[in-house]
Chain A
């Protein structure tokens, strides 16, 4: 006797097709919900903020008069912050990932370290703020400077960069390592000439996404005591500063209706910066992507 009766299969086909269609619709709906939320958010912010957006908004300092309020100090401050965070976190992050993937022995200690790096990525940012306040601001007496905030932000995004770099390094095929070692290359030569070039798209994409998170974080800056109203530009990493999310937070907490528009304009600037960073990530990924 036959176990798969084709006539029966055909008779039951309709039910299967209905279930198939239902799930397709559910997934489409899920996607549309996310898109709709994004669209509403963008619409609200753009309609509120666009009237306040001008060249002057980028070149003015903060002011208690909404029509004169500008974002210059925060924008420049955020760029300074990134100038500290990017090299610190990428050098430390890629270095740790290379150590864990290429040098460290596989034993219980390294497994424990790996697991905890992933856990660190889930620690709330305000906790990192407290860490930065204790170590950088007070113990190392860096005050509420760009350097202190930059180091704190670096610690915050370090786990994300390490994990992304580990994934990228691990995805480099083992055969390439074998080929390099098989010709008498040292570990360092293999890393520089084979592993890093192949892993760089993944490393940079992960790093830029992590930096995008750092540029939008507010909580650690508040804990460290970064001021909001600043009427000068920082001249070095030891100066105090303010950053885009701090400035936006301050404007949106003011009672005057006009400042809500200023805050919206600030958000547009922040989103443009984020969009630029993400497009750099996409560009790098497409340009350097290797095929095997």
Chain B
């Protein structure tokens, strides 16, 4: 399917290419249109309009409870694991509405990997953690799995630290290493987009730095959307930043613009630390 799919994308996103400088960087991965989301009676996301580009790091910032994590989890429909969630509107992933009845969540989540707030390796060996994704998608060949494991661990910059202990339990390494193993596990299914939900909030500064460097490295091959409550982190690693407040997108622009010259007073108050 890939060839025709890519061609479709080109046609659909041709409009965006005109404005961008580099043609590849301006293609959209996610176009969110009039997205609303309710947890029961609680209106958590209100009329979200966001256009997320390929091979960029998009940071989502905002105070606790502003809906930033909810939005991230909507992008791979993990939010539906919470009972009583209702949505309206559209999220187009590569031009296709992810809420379509015939769009299976399993397919979507194979294309869109996720890294969670708390490192959550499986209580299995490091090898089995990385091989989990490929295995559930039907890869059984030991040689191919070996290659995927090495490639993914190298991709997450942790191969040298764990290559001699692949058969040890993933919980035997430090928290920062566990988080990079989780990133490697997400890479193993060769996703198109990686969603990161405050991936460094449980880590020490040195591990945080390593993950941030890794994100810079990964954006060459992946589109990354990262939720963070650390504004310096957003400023350091992202190309675009979206500021969420009370379930609304207040401002979405180039990270430099957001942090140096925000157009909304509330954005300015938040990034200057006046609230949040």
Contacts and interface: CB of A to CB of B under 8 A. Distances in A.
Interface of A: 105-106, 173, 175-186, 189, 193-194, 197-198, 290-292
Contacts of A175: 116, 118, 120
A177 B120 CA distance: 10
Contacts of B110: 183-184
A106 B83 contact: yes
A291 B169 CA distance: 10
Interface of B: 76, 78, 81, 83, 105-110, 113-114, 116, 118, 120-123, 132-133, 136-137, 169, 171, 182, 185-186, 189
Contact of B189 (A184, A189, A194): A184
A175 B114 CA distance: 12
A184 B78 contact: no
Contacts of A290: 123
A184 B118 contact: no
Contact of A184 (B106, B122, B185): B106
Given A183-B132, A184-B137, A178 B182 contact: no
B66 to A, nearest CB: 21
Contacts of B186: 182-183
Contacts of B121: 179
A106 B122 CA distance: 26
Given A183-B136, A186-B136, A291-B171, 19 more contacts: A175-B118, A175-B120, A176-B120, A177-B81, A181-B105, A182-B76, A182-B78, A182-B109, A182-B113, A182-B114, A182-B116, A183-B109, A183-B189, A184-B105, A184-B106, A184-B110, A184-B137, A185-B136, A290-B123
B83 A193 contact: no
Most buried by B among A106, A177, A178, A292: A178
B84 to A, nearest CB: 8
23 contacts: A173-B120, A175-B116, A175-B118, A176-B120, A176-B123, A177-B81, A178-B116, A179-B122, A179-B185, A180-B132, A180-B136, A181-B109, A182-B114, A183-B110, A183-B113, A183-B132, A184-B110, A184-B137, A184-B189, A185-B106, A185-B136, A198-B123, A291-B169
Contacts of A176: 120, 122-123
Contacts of B116: 175, 178-179, 182
Contacts of A181: 78, 81, 105, 109
Contacts of B185: 179, 183
Nearest to B76: A182
Given A182-B78, A183-B132, A194 B83 contact: no
Query: What are the 4 closest A-B residue pairs judged by CB atoms, nearest first?
Result: A175-B120, A184-B110, A184-B109, A182-B114
A287 to B, nearest CB: 14
Nearest to A182: B114
A254 to B, nearest CB: 54
Nearest to B182: A179
Contact of B106 (A105, A178, A179, A186): A186
A105 B110 CA distance: 25
Given A183-B109, A184-B189, A194-B122, A178 B132 contact: no
A184 B83 contact: no
B107 to A, nearest CB: 7
A177 to B, nearest CB: 8
B109 A292 contact: no
Task: Give the interface centre of A173, A175, A176 by most chain B CB atoms within 10 Å.
Answer: A175
A239 B185 CA distance: 55
Contacts of A189: 136
Contact of A193 (B107, B109, B132, B171): B132
A175 B121 CA distance: 9
Interface centre among A173, A183, A186, A197 (most CB of B within 10 A): A183
